[in-house]
Structure formats: structure tokens, C-alpha cells
Copies of this chain bind each other. A is one copy, B any other.
Amino acid sequence: MSHIKRVHRKKVNRNVGDRPGVFVISADALKPVIHVYSYNEKEVVIDKGHDIKIVLAQLKKCKDHTHWIQIQGLGDANLINDIGEHLNINPLVLEDIVNTHQRPKFDEYDDYVFSVSRQLFISDGGELHNKQFSALVKSNLIISFEETYIKTFDVVKTRLQAGKGVIRAAGPGYLCYALSDVIIDNYFVLLAKIGDDLDDLEDRLYKHADKTIMYDAQQLKRSLIALRRVTWPERDKLNDILRTDNPYVTAEVKMYLRDAYDHCIQVMDMIENYKEISNSVIDLYLSMVSNRMNEIMKVLTIISAIFIPLTFVAGIYGMNFAKVDPVSNKAMPDNMPELYSPHGYYWALAGMSVIALIQVVIFWKKGWFTKL
């Protein structure tokens, strides 16, 4: 089945009272894989980095290119510390890169900016993952940090190599925008998935409602909540960037960011819409359960109400009041004379039929056979 199964909940790995700026690499963090893309309007040079120190040293020399260092996997404290030392990054920023529970935000520092987004995607197992994407942007350098090896940004790499559009000429700020834009585009993909699941849910509601609907609707609501928790601060972040005067955020980049901002609002709008629909599905399902109960009770009541009195009548004529005392043989003609009438049986059956008929008419008039 293609449904989103569960929102993966990450535990916060903080040690109480740790010095700020000190970070702990979590045990399940992946080993970093580094790719370097050095590009200008003329060429793109792709390299697979091994030692970040060497990479950074080389890049400093090569000032006519914009360099994108893509780091996937954060399981190496040395790498983070090396970047911090070489580029003179605030330890609190390094901590934020590694403690992957940051909300989307945009922090400006003297000669660099730091941006956090959240990547939402559904793993093969159907679980919804919420991973951190962060980026450091300096003069001609952008370093991006991801928690996993997923190939979200291949589309950007393709555009970079194709060299179409402004991407090769517009500097690291634009590239950071382009990466964020891919992340927001993926929210639409997730929304489309949720929309399909909702359609499916509604179809099941109308065709063969069972109790899994309730679970699935709640699951969808949680996915929507997860998405909303990511989109709201993302929008605030974009708003912060739009208002800043930072030199890395050129007027051109701002124009595109305004577009991304609109997309963000669209996502939020659709989230609210889908939440209303899931609530409506839940309400309809609960009302169905109530109606189902009513239907069941009506069947029980109709059958009981008709047959219990009849059974009582049959019970009456099943009583053993004796017309003749077996010991004294005295006749007692007052005891159950109906039993000894030649057509008593037919009269009894007729009486029962009348009782049953009256009840059927009453229930029919009450509309129990049709409505509600």
C-alpha cells in the first residue's frame, strides 16, 4: 500500500548543561560524503572531496569560481570543526549544523550567513522523514549540510551543468535560493501524495468504510501537521531574508525569493485545506459509526419487539395448567379452555399474526424501515 505510514519522531540528543557551542555527534549519524562543484559562467568543475582541509585551502585560491561544497552525512566531528576553524565560524552555528532539530532560520554574521531548512520526504518504507538542510554562504562559497545521502539536489546539479538560466552567473546566494526552492518544491510533491491519500480515503469512506479510516485520517493529519510545522518557520525565514540588506541577498535573488515565498504561502494554504478535508472525513466516519449503530439497534429492536411478545403468547399456551387432575381425575374446565377449542390453534396463530402486523405497521410508520 502506498500510504504514508508514520511520522518518524527523532529524539533530541542534548546533554543537559553542555557548554553552548559544544556538540555531540549522534551515534546514528552517517559518514560524511563530500562533493565540490566549482563553477563560473564558462565552466563547471566537479570533484569528490576527501579531506575538507585540503578542499578549503584549494578553493581559497580559486577566486573566479563560485564553489558549492555539498556535505551529505554529519557523522564526523572533525570535519565540522575543521570548517569552523578554516572559515572562522561561530561555535553556536557549528552546534546548529550538527544538532539537527533546528527550525528553519536565517542568521547573519559578519562575513557569512547561515540558513536552515527542513527536508521532508517519504522513505521507501512509507515513513515521513524530517531532515535538516543547512547552508553556510560566504563571498564565493556555499557549503551545504544534509543528514542523508538522498539525491534531492540532482536537478540543481543538472541545471548547473547545463548552464541554462542565471544559475552559473548569479553567485552563492542564488545557489542557496535554488536549493531551498527544490526543498519547497518537494513540499508540493508531499502534498500531492497526501492529496492522493485523502482521495483514496474518501473513496474508501463512501465504498467500504472500516475502522482503518480513522487511523489513516489521523496519520494524514499528523503528516500535515509535520508539514505545517516546517512551512510556517520557512515562510518566516524567507520573510527575514527578503527584509535583510545583506550583500549576499541581491535584488535579483530577492525577486526569486519572493516567488518562493508565494509558493510557501500556497503550501500553507493547501495544508489548511487538506486539514479541513481530513477533519471532515473523520466527522463523516464517526457519524457513519453512529448510524451503523442505529441500524444495528433497529434490526435488534424490530426483531425483538416482534418476536418477544409472540414468544410470550406461545409460552402462555405452552403452560401445563391441567384440565383434568391426574390423581383425582377431577375436570377443571376453567384451566386454559382455549387449548381445548376445536380451532384454538388457528385462532392463536391468527392472534399472533395480528400482533406482528400491528408492530410492523407501527415501525413502518415510525420510518424505521427507511430513514436516518
Taking Cβ atoms with an 8 Å cutoff, the residues of A that contact B are 9, 11-12, 14-22, 90, 92, 95-96, 101-103, 105, 153-156, 158-159, 164-165, 167, 178, 181-182, 185-186, 188-189, 191-192, 195, 199, 208-211, 214-215, 218, 221-222, 225-226, 229, 255-256, 259, 262, 265-266, 269-270, 272-273, 276-277, 280, 282-294, 296-301, 303-305, 307-312, 314-327, 330-336, 338-346, 348-349, 367-368, 370-372
Asked if A309 and B303 sit within 8 Å, CB to CB, the answer is: yes
Tell whether A17 pairs with B296 under 8 Å between CB atoms, given A286-B287, A305-B303, A326-B324. Answer: no
A241, B143: Cα distance in complex, Å: 33
Interface centre among A182, A344, A370 (most CB of B within 10 A): A344
Q: List 7 A-B contacts (CB under 8 A).
A: A14-B185, A14-B188, A289-B290, A300-B304, A303-B304, A316-B349, A327-B331
Asked if B335 and A17 sit within 8 Å, CB to CB, the answer is: no
Asked if B314 and A181 sit within 8 Å, CB to CB, the answer is: no
Contacts of A229 in B (CB 8 A): 269, 272-273
Contacts of A368 in B (CB 8 A): 296
Other 8 A-B pairs with CB < 8 A, given A17-B155, A289-B294: A12-B188, A12-B191, A19-B165, A211-B288, A211-B372, A318-B319, A321-B345, A335-B343
Contacts of A255 in B (CB 8 A): 90, 92
Number of copies: 5
Asked if B185 and A17 sit within 8 Å, CB to CB, the answer is: yes
**Top 3 A-B pairs ranked by shortest CB distance?**
A17-B155, A314-B315, A317-B319
**SS of A interface (majority):** helix
Asked if B324 and A324 sit within 8 Å, CB to CB, the answer is: no
Contacts of A332 in B (CB 8 A): 340-342, 344
Contacts of A178 in B (CB 8 A): 17
Contact of A283 among B186, B211, B282 (CB under 8 A): B282
Asked if B317 and A209 sit within 8 Å, CB to CB, the answer is: no
Contacts of A300 in B (CB 8 A): 297, 300-301, 304-305
Q: Smallest CB–CB gap between A25 and chain B, Å? A: 18
